[in-house]
A and B are shown apart, each in its own frame.
Chain A
Amino acid sequence: MRYLPLTDNDRAAMLRAVGAPAIDALFADVPEQARLSGLVDLPRAMGEIEVERRLGAMAAKNLAAGNVPFFLGAGAYRHHVPAAVDHLIQRGEFLTSYTPYQPEIAQGTLQYLFEFQTQVALLTGMEVANASLYDGATACAEAVMMANRLTGRRKAVLSGGLHPHYREVAQTYADFVGFELDAAPPAPEGGEDLVARLGPDTSCVVVQNPDFWGEVRDYSALARACHERGTLFVVVVTEILSLGAVRPPGEMGADIVAAEGQSLGNALNFGGPYLGLFASRDRFVRQMPGRLVGETRDADGRRGWVLTLSTREQHIRRERATSNICTNSGLCALAFTIHLALLGEAGLTRLARLNHHAAVRLAERLERLDGVRLLAGNFFNEFTLRLPCPAAPVVEALAQRGVLGGVPASRVYPGHADMADLLLVAATELTTEDDVARLAAALAEALR
């Protein structure tokens, strides 16, 4: 077995050194009735060729986004990742290191996380960011729980424009941790009034920008209304690239930002691993969940980095920790950091313009189709269409024609007749003129 260095000779010699007659002696504490004598019913060991053949066959059965015109978004976006990113994150020193508990020999990880925290704070317009959480949805739930701790209140108001999966995750945490959610119904056509839902017991209001339907909104007035009532204002961002073009949450009065960072540096991966971003204000930092890296000096006075404010965390606080989270999304954060370092100010803003341009061009093209109506007035790289018929069969028909045409709202909101005809469509820098033409043609045909 290629991954196991011990030889039978080694094993025999080591057993002698240990003073055990056979390996079974070392498992003597296992109750008799629980000892497996033979092998479990699974295939025997395979070489690289065989494993590659079998898993390659599974991979080949899937329609990869890069092979077809592709327009899906809804919380996961397909962007170009520069080759240097994947090369660098596969360096063994990054890939195969543990959480940086020994800072003297983990400065590489600690420094990139410090750079990551800075990038996230800059991008969101916030003062401080942590070293990442699991994904955008868990970050959103953690934001609500942090707001509960800070305000001593236990009820959060969620916008209907929040990604429905994020709402479901928050609801799961609410059910078990024990707090209340007032989730506004989805309002894809607009007209949501969240101020009317605010009460003296509201810990926070959670909105998404751009919202699930793609609409970009100014939330400054809502933030002010929250702050007048001692309510915190939480902004969720599922397409982090939008912040290269759109005013950041920090400028709209956000107290906490929870975001999905997958768009930068990370592949679609069928939904994971992704990258939860979490940013807030300096004065709230002691109630933030997740790891934080801070600057300090070593015994020779040289600058260095350490994990800090760990007393918030489970390994010290145990049942009184701010969160039970242990790991972050380190390697995804590294990919994000390197991609953003490559882009820089000029590259990120240009990439955002390219995305916006691609979406505007696509919207103009699709709006012209008979019976198709564009819902969003303002959008970044994604928008919602109302089709003249249910969207799910249309998407299925498009897939049969080799076009991955978007996400039907019914996939995430089944059983809502008013949303059955809605189709979410995204375009990015990877969307070509030809892709747009093929989607328009296929859609026209499917709607005929």
Chain B
Amino acid sequence: MSDWSQALSSHAGGGAALAAATTSGNRGLQIEESLIFEEDMPGRCGVDLPEPPPFRDRLGGLARTGPIGLPGLSEPQVVRHYTRLSQKNYAIDSGLYPLGSCTMKHNPRLNEKLARLPGFADIHPLQPLSSVPGALELIGTLAHWLKTLTGMPAVALSPAAGAHGELCGMMAIRAQLEARGDPRRRVLVPESAHGTNPATAAACGYAVDPVPGNDRGRVDRASLEAKLGPDVAALMLTNPNTCGLFENEIVEIAAAVHRAGAFFYCDGANFNALLGRVRPVDLGIDCMHINLHKTFSTPHGGGGPGSGPVALAAALAPHAPLPWLVHGENGLALLEHREGAAREAFGRLKAFHGQMGMFVRALAYMMSHGADGLRQVAEDAVLNANYLRARLCEVLSPAYPGACMHEVLFDDRFLKGTGVTTLDFAKALIDEGYHPMTMYFPLVVHGALLIEPTETESRASLDAFIEVVRALAAAAKAGDAEPFHAAPRLAPRRRLDETAAARKPVLRWRPPAAETQAAE
């Protein structure tokens, strides 16, 4: 018996009835949509292009011989297809998106408009620099804002995402340690860290040494200090941490790290809570990446593109990757090679200068808020999270007592004995019209539910969410687990069989004929 049939039989009732409700399988505005490959009308084209006059090609006999296999569709078909697909997505535009540590805030459309100005979007990375002074000015201005907000003297802008920024920061640390003739082996990473931290340290050639947390949801300072030694290159710490708590001993921790001759890397995923109220430099941080796609509202786009600039202390700044933006005699200049001030750059991380399109959006966001608005962002983000905590703590089970920062962590004790799991609870939220919170992360808490509302939710929006969560918690405790197991029932799809997907991966469409051949 296959797992699909198991899944089917265990949810037979409600699901089958719903699926049979219409002859088309469509449900109101929810339209079943096939793949573009299945809509192929050979020869059709959604772009009108002239055919070039006959000419002698210069491909040297290397012209493509067979068909590619791409489908042909007209423009209306394509527009309808992708419009229908879009309607199967949840988005911050359509509702609260309380994913913890993801900072799903409103994405202003002004940013989109400005990023598309030809002066930013239609310039080539290798144009003569004399023809792009405004682009350099934009990058320089963004760097100034980031340096002011972090208090750090330098910022590396080229990393394409948070994890890429982590790599950049750890490379700068290793480059500096090697430059001073003090290569080290170990990197300390708290157990509550996001998985990219250990992955990054390992990718950078370091052994990862996990540090346990304490019962207050912070890193255990005594264990951490016991692990520090002359072979420790760095501590990678997230602050506020992934439990939504400020590491209140961070200054002492930084001092201990520095006494050991190591560097203090801060994962800046949660910088939103600190904007304008705390500068990382004042916490003793040497290096911190900033997710422009979290803190500074550049859109997540279904998983990228992101942008992960890295703020660097003076000791690390000489090793920042190429290219460098510098203030020269004739204004801003770009150093693209190991030369002059950039002679100790550790290398290059990306083909060109960085995520310019994201820089424009992030700067537009920062200028819109200003120094006053950014401080308000942090305060409202923290207030919103604490409001949720205060109004949910009696029905859910807070993982740790006391106030939180920009996100609040619950565990699954409130579900004990109900037969409802964290996953079931999250899926039930989908039927109620909400994207679930982050689940099962951080790993240090059993059945974690991590909720980050962000500052762009109104009080009414929070109240509506609170009512739904309270009602679901009550329903779970009342003992009716079955609707939770069957959830979601009203989404474009019910629970999907991830086991089957992983056991026999189907990672692309193939024409039916080819499938038949493969089966023979």
Q: Is B29 an interface residue (CB 8 A)?
A: no
Q: Is A26 an interface residue (CB 8 A)?
A: yes
Closest to A105 in B: B90
Which of B64-72, B414-422, B470-478 lines the interface with chain A?
B64-72
Q: Which of B118, B141, B301, B306 contacts A94 (CB 8 A)?
A: B301
Task: Knowing A91-B83, A328-B303, A332-B305 are in contact, say whether A115-B509 is a contact too (CB < 8 A).
Answer: yes
- Contact A360–B58 (Cβ < 8 Å): yes
Choose among B32, B124, B277, B498 the residue with the greatest number of A CB atoms under 10 Å from its CB.
Answer: B124
- Contact B246–A30 (Cβ < 8 Å): yes
- Contact B195–A315 (Cβ < 8 Å): yes
Alpha-carbon separation in the docked complex, A168 to B352 (Å): 11
- Within 8 Å CB of A28, what residues of B? 403
- Contact A119–B70 (Cβ < 8 Å): yes
Task: Knowing A104-B493, A299-B8 are in contact, say whether A94-B110 is a contact too (CB < 8 A).
Answer: no
Alpha-carbon separation in the docked complex, A317 to B122 (Å): 40
Alpha-carbon separation in the docked complex, A59 to B223 (Å): 52
Q: Which of B25, B71, B195, B455 contacts A344 (CB 8 A)?
A: B71
Alpha-carbon separation in the docked complex, A403 to B246 (Å): 54
- Contact B49–A351 (Cβ < 8 Å): yes
Chain A to chain B: the 9 pairs with minimum beta-carbon distance, closest first: A271-B352, A59-B119, A331-B301, A172-B347, A92-B93, A61-B134, A378-B60, A271-B125, A273-B305
- Contact A330–B89 (Cβ < 8 Å): no
Task: Knowing A14-B459, A332-B305, A378-B58 are in contact, say whether A270-B46 is a contact too (CB < 8 A).
Answer: no
Q: Which of A42, A60, A348 contacts B370 (CB 8 A)?
A: A42
Q: Is A295 an interface residue (CB 8 A)?
A: yes
Closest to A51 in B: B367
Q: Which of A245, A295, A326 contacts B196 (CB 8 A)?
A: A326
| B403-443 interface code vs A (CB 8 A; 1 in, 0 out) | 10100000000000000000000110010000110000100
- Within 8 Å CB of B481, what residues of A? none
A-B contact pairs, 25 of them (CB 8 A): A33-B282, A45-B370, A45-B373, A46-B370, A55-B114, A58-B137, A60-B119, A60-B134, A62-B119, A62-B134, A76-B125, A96-B299, A104-B495, A128-B507, A176-B174, A218-B62, A298-B496, A302-B494, A306-B498, A319-B202, A332-B301, A344-B72, A345-B68, A378-B59, A404-B124
Task: Knowing A84-B46, A344-B44 are in contact, say whether A106-B132 is a contact too (CB < 8 A).
Answer: no
Q: Is B167 an interface residue (CB 8 A)?
A: yes
- Within 8 Å CB of A27, what residues of B? 246, 277-278, 382
- Within 8 Å CB of A292, what residues of B? 505, 507
- Contact A171–B347 (Cβ < 8 Å): yes
Known: A46-B368, A96-B92. 15 other contacts (CB 8 A): A6-B383, A14-B386, A39-B372, A40-B371, A59-B120, A72-B126, A94-B82, A95-B107, A96-B107, A107-B88, A294-B502, A300-B19, A305-B496, A331-B301, A342-B75
Q: Is A346 an interface residue (CB 8 A)?
A: yes
- Contact B348–A95 (Cβ < 8 Å): no
Task: Knowing A46-B367, A341-B71 are in contact, say whether A98-B321 is a contact too (CB < 8 A).
Answer: no
- Contact A396–B491 (Cβ < 8 Å): no
